[in-house]
Amino acid sequence: MLERVTRIKDRFMKFSDWEDRYKELILLGRELTPYPEDKRDDKYKVKGCQSQVWLYPEFKDGRVYFHGDSDALLVKGIVGLLTSVYSDATPDEILATPPEFLKEVGITEHLSMNRSNGLASMMKQIQMYAVVFKSMQKV
């Protein structure tokens, strides 16, 4: 996970101003693999987001894989950023990796209050899935 966080930091820290980071965030959203249409369901919708955001987890071989999408370009970029860090990780790795890197790359300081709340909701959802999958391993 540390390697992924470092990659994200490197990707965004090469830009000195927010506008370039904003463009990079949108590019990251465009790089997302297409979201499965059959998972575009209220069950996978992230509550607390102003935009529509879907986050679908898969749990295979002890690892969590996230698929995400949004109807807003910037938010889709945030989804891409979060899934690039937290997807293909164990539940323990997810829970041990707080989203401080978002502040370090200057993402959180430039978001509106609504988008910040939405980001917090996405992180809460990712962590909740990790807790659920971790508890399933112990059964």
Domains identified in the chain, total number: 1
pLDDT at residue 52 in the model: 95
Average per-residue pLDDT for the chain? 93
Domain range enclosing 32: 2-137
Catalytic site residue from 49, 85, 102, 122: 49
Termini Cα distance of the chain: 25
Catalytic site residue 49?
yes
Q: How confident is the model at residue 94 (pLDDT cuts 50, 70, 90)?
A: very high
What CATH number is attached to the domain comprising 129? Answer: 3.90.1010.10
Residue 107 DSSP class: S
How many residues in the chain? Answer: 139
**What is the average per-residue pLDDT within 51-56?**
96
Confidence grade of residue 138 (pLDDT, cut at 50, 70, 90): low
